[in-house]
Amino acid sequence: MQGMKMNKLKRNERVAAIVKILSTNPNRIYSLNYFVEKFNAAKSTISEDIVVVKKTMEKMELGKITTITGAAGGVKFATYISNEYTKEILDEMSERLNGADRILPGNYLYMTDLIYSPYFMNRASEIFASKFSDKKIDYIVTIETKGIPLAFSVAKLLNVPLIIVRKDSKITEGSTVSINYVSGSTGRLQRMSLAKRAIGQDAHVLIIDDFMKGGGTVRGIIEMMFEFGAVVEGVGVLIATKSPKGKLVKEFTSLLTLEETNDEDNNIKIFPTNM
Amino acid sequence: MQGMKMNKLKRNERVAAIVKILSTNPNRIYSLNYFVEKFNAAKSTISEDIVVVKKTMEKMELGKITTITGAAGGVKFATYISNEYTKEILDEMSERLNGADRILPGNYLYMTDLIYSPYFMNRASEIFASKFSDKKIDYIVTIETKGIPLAFSVAKLLNVPLIIVRKDSKITEGSTVSINYVSGSTGRLQRMSLAKRAIGQDAHVLIIDDFMKGGGTVRGIIEMMFEFGAVVEGVGVLIATKSPKGKLVKEFTSLLTLEETNDEDNNIKIFPTNM
């Protein structure tokens, strides 16, 4: 229907279309004129439609509609989820992860199915997007590989680009900045790289990763961000281990906590972090 | 509002909430009872609401609502985009990629900003989800790293898990299957690995990657899928090079084609593939 005028729509129909467009393109500003043209309707009509959408999203706790005034103004959808719903999701994830069949040789936890699941990563990203919605964030930063689905989901909800720091130095992205870092859990020296043109000046970033034990990798990403002159607005990880308590990163938000209760029995316990 | 009965909602409000829930959870089946309970409304009322939603999505070309009958039945949203909109998106992407400042030493194309952009990858994934919507697909499969955001976006729209094949053999995911493959463009022998428990039996998969030149990597993934007894339902890549014409993979869908018109001038041209 692009570029084609259509018969007048009913309020129901306009409301349905506005909700679809806004909620599947979170944090993207749509001008009122966009809808005026798309629906062949008066601006006052569209304004009334948006009031209906806004009130419903709030009443049903499905999201937040914000109106931006001025020349570049318009309306946008932001993720909002209640504490109650957050708790439900985290309980569901913990339950999924607490199974003896998930413990691998070396006392690793098999969690690939969860961290590559669109359903769970969307829910987890809604929690982070809600939590960091009041911060000015220009980029989501992660390191390859397992944190990418979660980080990309957060990037989508906040409508900002994703930056993936590479562990491989053979990257074909032009000039790069590389730094060495010490893995907090293994103590080994490792290297991470990022293309110089990946991040603009004076950027504010949110770091997202799937797992934190010693915190060495995230500390490396933070140092990399300093090299780019970027401000780190926050760190969010899906799962953090309970020990060591003294991690190399002091401030971070974890959704779930992993406790190794007994190394000999390969006993692993996961529970929602008290946020 | 979870678990709490609320005052009767107006049709507008129910329609808005249904659109939000269905369209941000594509391909996920919601029973009519889910809405009956959530809205404290009669089943016949919900049925009428869904008719409004269905008609509007179709009329505005915003998606497709399908009703599934039977015990596990309900209603779901599927991505649908028109050929006209597909063309618009591919033109926009081509325009973004056709810039002399994107050519890197070695005649590589800098496209990280585009392939890590939620906006563009969501649009690209809508095209793939539309195209492969009639296939039975259990998993989306990709190989680390650059194709992950696109592959995960497609996985989200089709509501199936993502599988990421690793180039690193040090993965901590239990027993793995590893295969050697020859990179079609460099001719070098490489190795890819996947955890044995990553894929269930008799799976049908769709392979998604960001870039294809010789086709060796995708051919490797296809061979890996044979090892798992999986059926490959299709291959989708964002960008395929025009040459070599004889790629190691015969059947694939590419959204964009990259033509190196003149190696000496570092001249690169990108255009929508004639699908």
Going by pLDDT thresholds of 50, 70 and 90, the confidence category of residue B6 is low
CA neighbor of A160 nearest in space, from B120, B144, B89: B120
| Whether A105 and B12 lie within 8 Å, measured CB to CB | no
| Other beta carbons less than 10 A from residue B266's beta carbon | 15
- The number of CA neighbours under 13 Å toward the Cβ of A218 is 29
- Show which of residues 10-39 on chain B sit within 8 Å of chain A, judged by CB atoms: 11-13, 15-17, 19-21, 23-25, 28
Interface touch B2/A82, C-beta < 8 Å: yes
Q: What is the pLDDT of residues A14-41, one digit of tens each?
A: 999 999 999 999 999 999 999 999 999 9
Which chain B residues in 189-248 lie under 8 Å from chain A, judged by CB atoms? 195, 197-198
Of residues A104 and A45, which shows the higher confidence score? A45
H or E segment and range at residue B119: helix B118-131
What's residue B241's pLDDT?
Answer: 94
Long-range contacts of residues B258-263, Cβ cutoff 8 Å, at least 24 apart? B258/B109, B260/B107, B263/B107
Tell me the pLDDT band of A3, cut-offs 50, 70 and 90: very low
Nearest CA in chain B to A81: B1
Which of B3, B16, B57 lies closest to A53 in CB terms? B16
Which of B6, B39, B60, B115 should we substitute to test contact with A (largest number of A Cβ atoms within 10 Å)? B60
Dihedral pair phi/psi, residue A129, rounded to 5°: -65, -40
One-letter amino acid at B252 equals F
Task: Summarize the confidence of residues B186-190 as an average pLDDT.
Answer: 84
Beta bridge partners of A207: A141, A235
* β-bridge pairing A139-143 and A162-165: parallel
B41 contacts: CB under 8 Å, gap ≥ 6: B8, B9, B14, B35
What's the pLDDT band for B119 if we cut at 50, 70, 90? very high
Residue B265: band (very low, low, confident or very high) from pLDDT cuts 50, 70, 90: low
Nearest CA in chain B to A154: B118
Beta carbons of B23 and A19 less than 8 Å apart: yes
Q: Which amino acid is at B171?
A: I
Specify the amino acid at residue B6: M
ipTM of the complex, rounded to two decimals: 0.93
How many beta-carbon contacts under 8 Å exist across A and B?
187
Tell me if chain B has a CB within 8 Å of the CB of A186.
no
Give the CA dihedral A117, A163, B150, B214, nearest 10 degrees.
-120
Q: What pLDDT is attached to residue B3?
A: 47
Q: How confident is the model at residue A183 (pLDDT cuts 50, 70, 90)?
A: confident
Contact A159 B117 (CB under 8 A): no
Residues in B closer than 8 angstroms to A172, CB to CB, are 104, 106, 108
Among candidates A210, A259, A256, which has minimal Cα distance to A237?
A210
B80 touches A: beta carbon within 8 Å: no
Count, in order, helices (H) and strands (E) of chain A: 8, 12
Residue-range domain boundaries for chain B: 11-78, 83-272
Give the mean pLDDT of A62-69.
95
Mutation target for B interface from A1, A12, A21: give the one with most B CBs within 10 A. Answer: A12
- A240: helix, coil or strand? strand
- In chain B, which residues have their Cβ closer than 8 Å to the Cβ of A104? 172-174
Mean pLDDT calculated for residue range A80-87: 93
- Which range among A88-92, B72-76, B180-184, B260-264 shows the weakest confidence by mean pLDDT? B260-264
- Residue B210 pLDDT grade (very low, low, confident, very high; cuts 50, 70, 90): very high
Which residue of A56, A113, A162 is in closest CB contact with B161?
A113
Q: In sequence order, which ranges of A98-215 are alpha helices (DSSP H)?
A: 112-115, 118-131, 148-158
DSSP A8: P
CATH fold of the domain at B83-272: Rossmann fold (3.40.50)
How far is Cα B268 from Cα B265, in angstroms, rounded to an integer? 9
Q: For tokens 């070396």, what's the residue?
A: A106
Q: Averaging pLDDT over each range in A89-103, A186-200, A229-243, B4-18, which range is the top one?
A: A229-243
Give the DSSP letter of residue A198. Answer: G
Q: Which two tokens stand for residue A15?
A: 């409301």
Give the pLDDT confidence of B146-176 residue by residue, as tens digits. Answer: 999 999 999 999 999 999 999 976 667 889 9
- Residue B147 DSSP code: T
The predicted model gives B219-233 an average pLDDT of 97
Nearest CA-CA partner of B124 in B236, B259, B271: B236
Tell me the C-alpha to C-alpha distance, in Å, between residue A56 and each of A267, B46, B133.
46, 16, 31
| Mutate which: A141, A148, A154, vs B, most B CBs within 10 A | A148
Tell me the one-letter amino acid at B151.
A
* Structural class in CATH, domain A11-78: mainly alpha
* C-beta pairs of B59-66 under 8 Å, 24+ apart in sequence: B59/A1, B59/A6, B59/A13, B60/A1, B60/A13, B60/A17, B60/A20, B61/A1, B61/B85, B62/A17, B62/A20, B62/A21, B62/B23, B63/A20, B63/B23, B63/B26, B64/B133, B65/B22
In the block, which residue shows the tokens 């018969």?
A: A7
* Token couple for B56: 């509007």
Cis peptide before B145 (omega within 30 of 0): yes
Min distance B251 CA to chain A CA atoms (Å): 26
